[in-house]
Amino acid sequence: MNKYYLSLLIICIVLLKSPTGFAQVKPAVKPIQTVQEISISEILAQSKQSYQLDILRQNISVQEALSNQAVLPPNPNLNLSVEALPSLKGEGGEVNLLWSQPWAISGRLKKKETWIKKKMSLSQMTFDLKQRRLQRQLKQLFYRGLTWQRYLDETQKLIDLSGKFVSILHAQYIEGKVLLSEYNRARLLLENLRLQKQKSQLEWKQAKSQVSVLLNHSEPRFQRFKGELEIPLNQLLSLDSVKEPSIHPELSQAEEQFSERKSYLAFQEALAWPDLQWQLGARYTPIENNLGAISGFQWPLPLLNQNQGKVKAAGIQVKQKQLQKKWITLNFKNRWQQVKLRLDQARLNLKIYQTQILPLAESSLKINRAAYQSGKLSYLEVLDAQRSVRTSRQKYILEWGNYYQVLTELNYFYESGFQHKMLSQTLSF
């Protein structure tokens, strides 16, 4: 029997140490689902569930709960007191039952309700403005990532071309047809391009990572950004169609902040007058076996404390918000003017590249190819012209990225987002 239990104990120990025994098996980690490409519309749709917006929603819910309680009228008071009053016979006493109801004679409750509603309206405006800024940030990150993605593609083409260039120079250097300095210069250019590619990859990955964080993901769940940068010149946004905005959430929020402080000042001024207490009750004296009624009013005189400190502080805050409103309006118009100028410059740069720089580079490439076929130029000069075209394309892509960044910023200044012929689905809010 002892041998049986000993054998059973040994088997249990072996099973416990075995990875397939009684030991707890950890559940398999679910692989993160990723998509090949993600568009700006998909990013904006997912942004509605951002943690930043959820926090603001919860704050609004908390304020609503507190506001509902704050606007309730004050509770009545019910007091029961028993007093022992000595008499000549050694007997006495008195029982009082008193009910009192505060009454705000200065309209304090109404003013408090107005102030609370202003606070709630301001919280909703803050949420809407935060959502708008989040969308702007995501759009800018999207176009930044898309720009560096296209830039990487062009850089890789340029690296392949430069690698072919270096291989030919190396063969010619072995044959003694070119100098070592020329060969080393080509190699240096190739290494610089590879370093440039690494920096571009870092910018691209950073854009992906920042988008993912704003969408509540610890790491990117997409491989590439989906979209196109280039459109015809005649479809670029014209400054003639851009008018100065007169309504914007930033301006509305500044106005509402000023209004909220004014309502708060009115509420604090109302607190300078104490509540009037209306009292009703009964009094019973056992020694006389007498039951009587008590009725009256009680009003503390505001001789020493008239809420002067809070009224003065609230008045200063009103002036502060008024100055802040003027500054926000002035700064808003100045920012709009600056972005408009940047848009003008971005459109001009794209036109120069499309009408001058790129056509000249491609024309030089065609001339060099024709000269190479007729034996007037070497293949290296053709490759050098191809490299010039690719380098111009790289800079051209960066100019498109700058154009979309400015366009996104400009779109932020409009209440509903202006409609652009090719970009209405991409840029409009």
| Residue 13 included in any domain | no
184 and 66, same domain (yes or no): yes
Looking at the DSSP assignment, which residues form a beta bridge with residue 284? 95, 291
Question: Are residues 201 and 337 part of one domain?
Answer: yes
> Is residue 352 one of the residues assigned to a domain?
yes
Q: Report yes or no on 10 lying in a domain.
A: no
What's the whole-model pTM score? 0.77
* Weakest mean pLDDT among 26-30, 160-164, 399-403, 409-413: 26-30
Proportion of the chain above pLDDT 70, given as a percent: 80
Q: State how far the Cα of 199 lies from the Cα of 209, in Å rounded to an integer.
A: 15
Range with the poorest average pLDDT among 17-21, 132-136, 327-331, 377-381? 17-21
> Pick the residue with more confidence: 312 or 380?
312
Same domain (yes/no): 126, 198: yes
% residues pLDDT > 90 (the chain): 35
What average pLDDT does this structure show over 126-139? Answer: 91
Mean pLDDT lowest among 25-29, 206-210, 384-388, 424-428:
424-428
Predicted confidence (pLDDT) at residue 424 exceeds the cutoff of 50: no
Asked whether residue 43 carries a pLDDT value surpassing 90, the answer given is yes
In the block, which residue shows the tokens 């304090």?
Answer: 108
> 102 has which bridge partners?
277
Q: What pLDDT sits at residue 103? A: 65
Q: Is residue 204 part of a domain?
A: yes
Does 23 reside within a domain?
Answer: no
Tell me, yes or no, whether 286 and 238 share the same domain.
no
User: Taking 50 as the threshold, does the pLDDT of residue 21 lie above it?
Assistant: no
Same domain, 297 and 401: no
- Our measurement of the distance from residue 135's CA atom to the centroid of its chain's CA atoms, rounded to an integer in Å, reads 7
Q: How confident is the model at residue 429 (pLDDT cuts 50, 70, 90)?
A: very low
Quick one: 381 and 296 in the same domain? no
* CATH number of the domain to which 351 belongs: 1.20.1600.10
Burial of 141 from C-beta contacts in 10 A (0-12 / 13-18 / 19+)? buried
- The pLDDT assigned to 25 comes to 47
Number of structural domains (the chain) is 2
Residues 196 and 322 in one domain: yes
All residues at 6 or more sequence positions from 260 whose CB lies less than 8 Å from its CB, including other chains: 115, 118, 119, 121, 122, 321
Whose CA is closest to 296, among 59, 69, 79, 98?
A: 98
Other Cβ atoms closer than 10 A to 256: 21
What mean pLDDT comes out for the span 243-253? 86
User: CB neighbours (10 Å) of residue 123?
Assistant: 19
Q: Please tell me the predicted confidence (pLDDT) of residue 155.
A: 92
Q: Which residue has the tokens 């000069």?
A: 381
Binned at pLDDT 50, 70 and 90, residue 425 comes out as very low
- The letter for the amino acid at 338 is Q
β-sheet bridge partners, residue 222: 35
Q: Return the pLDDT at 91.
A: 55
pLDDT at 254: 93
Per-residue H/E/C for the chain: CHHHHHHHHHHHHHHHHCCCCCCCCCCCCCCCCCEEEECHHHHHHHHCCCHHHHHHHHHHHHHHHHHHHHCCCCCCEEEEEEECCCCCCCCCCEEEEEEEEEECCCCHHHHHHHHHHHHHHHHHHHHHHHHHHHHHHHHHHHHHHHHHHHHHHHHHHHHHHHHHHHHHHHHHHHCCCCCHHHHHHHHHHHHHHHHHHHHHHHHHHHHHHHHHHHCCCCCCCEEEECCCCCCCHHHCCCHHHCCCCCCCHHHHHHHHHHHHHHHHHHHHHHCCCCCEEEEEEEEEECCCCEEEEEEEEECCCCCCCCCHHHHHHHHHHHHHHHHHHHHHHHHHHHHHHHHHHHHHHHHHHHHHHHHHHHHHHHHHHHHHHHHHHCCCCCHHHHHHHHHHHHHHHHHHHHHHHHHHHHHHHHHHCCCCCCCCCCCHHHHCC
- How many other CB atoms are there within 10 angstroms of residue 35's CB atom? 11
- Rounded alpha-carbon distances, angstroms, from residue 50 to 3, 47, 373: 64, 5, 60
Residues 6+ apart with CB under 8 A from 176: none
Q: What is the pLDDT of residue 327?
A: 96
Specify whether 184 is located in the same domain as 124: yes
Task: Note the pLDDT tens digit of each residue in 174-227.
Answer: 998 888 888 898 899 899 999 999 999 999 999 999 999 999 998 999 999 999
pLDDT band at 149 (very low <50, low <70, confident <90, very high): very high
Which pLDDT belongs to residue 328? 94
Q: Is the pLDDT of residue 5 over 80?
A: no
Same domain, 128 and 226: yes
Q: How far apart are CA 260 and CA 119, in angstroms?
A: 6
How far is it, in rounded angstroms, from Cα 307 to Cα 111?
16
Provide mean pLDDT across the span 22-34.
54
* Separation of alpha carbons 422 and 343, rounded Å: 16
Evaluate whether residue 27 is within a structural domain.
no
Q: Are residues 130 and 248 in the same domain?
A: yes
What are 172's two structure tokens?
């010619």
Q: What is the mean pLDDT of residues 295-310?
A: 72
Residues 218 and 319 occupy one common structural domain? yes
Last residue of a domain, one of 263, 284, 306: 306
Question: The tokens of 407 are what?
Answer: 């366009």
Q: How confident is the model at residue 97 (pLDDT cuts 50, 70, 90)?
A: confident
Query: Nearest 5°: phi and psi at 32?
Result: -70, 125
pLDDT at 378 over 90: no
More confident residue, 73 or 402: 402
Does residue 65 belong to any structural domain of this protein?
yes
pLDDT per residue over 316-349, tens digit each?
999 999 999 999 999 999 999 999 899 999 999 9
Share the mean pLDDT of the chain: 82
Cα of 49 vs its chain's centroid, Å: 12
Range of 353's domain? 39-72+108-272+308-427
Q: In this predicted model, what pLDDT tens digit does every residue of 260-278 receive, in sequence order?
A: 999 999 888 888 777 777 7
**pLDDT over threshold 90, residue 20:** no
Query: Is 417 among the domain residues?
Result: yes
Determine the distance from the C-alpha atom of residue 249 to the mean position of all C-alpha atoms in its chain, rounded to a whole number.
14
Rounded to a whole number of angstroms, the CA Rg of the chain reads 39
Q: What is the pLDDT of residue 358?
A: 93
**Quick one: average pLDDT of 403-419?**
78
Q: Are residue 134 and residue 147 in the same domain, yes or no?
A: yes
Residue 15: pLDDT above 50? Answer: yes
